[in-house]
Amino acid sequence: MNHFILPGVVGCVLLALLLYWLLQGGAANENQLDLLKIRETLADLQLLIRSQNLVARMFDPKDLEFVRAEGDPVLVRLLNRERKAAIVGWMRRMRLQVSALMAYRISYARGTKKLRPTMELRLTLEYVTFLMTYYALIFLVWLWGPFHARRLVGSAIKSVGLFCGVFEDFVSSSVMANKQLSEM
């Protein structure tokens, strides 16, 4: 019975949010501004994902092997601390960008008359997936240290990549819809 409570609550919240957005109206200018902000934040986020090679370099196990071979436990602790700070900082920046995107999108959705529930659902799902990966990564880094969380970093990047993909679709369809409206 308990298994159904959390998904039920999440489902109700999502439905309530969707209904709320559907019932909202707003000014066209504010909408354009939100769309501009979405495009800018999306570009920043994509730039952040592109640094994944550097993130992979950060977790090169050869560095850990080398420091361990030095035979000084203080150095191993320092390496773990430095890498942990780097990955947590990077993930936090990514989460802030993703949250900003969602905030702009909600603001945009309030002002639009035509909402596409499928798109809204896809965006919400990708957002929830990213948040779950983010918190799992932060927890694992805290629990096992940064070098054991390498795979999850890849998953987090993949998750943000998918999120960006859905947002790109959303932006292009919104631009098209706005064009059609202005031509009418």
Partner 1 sequence: MTVSYRLDVEAAAEDLKNHSLRGFREEISRLVYLAGTRDYNTGKYYHDGLALRYTSEVACKALAFCHEESFRKVLEISLEDLVAQLQEYLSIHDCEGGEVLKNWSKLEVYRVIVPSVCDLLSASFFCSNLRLALAILESRMRGRPSS
The binding site for partner 1 (CB under 8 A) comprises: 47-48, 51, 54-55, 57-58, 60, 62-63, 66-67, 70-75, 78-79, 82-83, 85-86, 89-90, 93
Q: Which tokens hold the place of 140?
A: 């694992």
- CA-CA-CA-CA torsion sign (156, 49, 57, 89): negative
Q: Based on CB atoms, which residue is closest to partner 1, 47 or 176?
A: 47
CA–CA distance, 152 with 148 (Å, rounded to integer): 9
Nearest CB to partner 1, comparing residues 35 and 42: 42
Name the minimum Å distance from CB 47 to partner 1.
8
CB of 69 to partner 1, least distance (A): 9
Least distance from partner 1 to the Cβ atom of residue 77, Å: 10
Q: Tell me the C-alpha distance between 133 and 165, whole Å.
A: 17
Question: Least distance from C-beta 112 to partner 1, angstroms?
Answer: 34
* Residue closer to partner 1, measured from CB, 116 or 150: 150
Shortest CA distance to 13 belongs to which of 99, 135, 128, 118? Answer: 128
Q: How far apart are CA 24 and CA 112, in angstroms?
A: 8
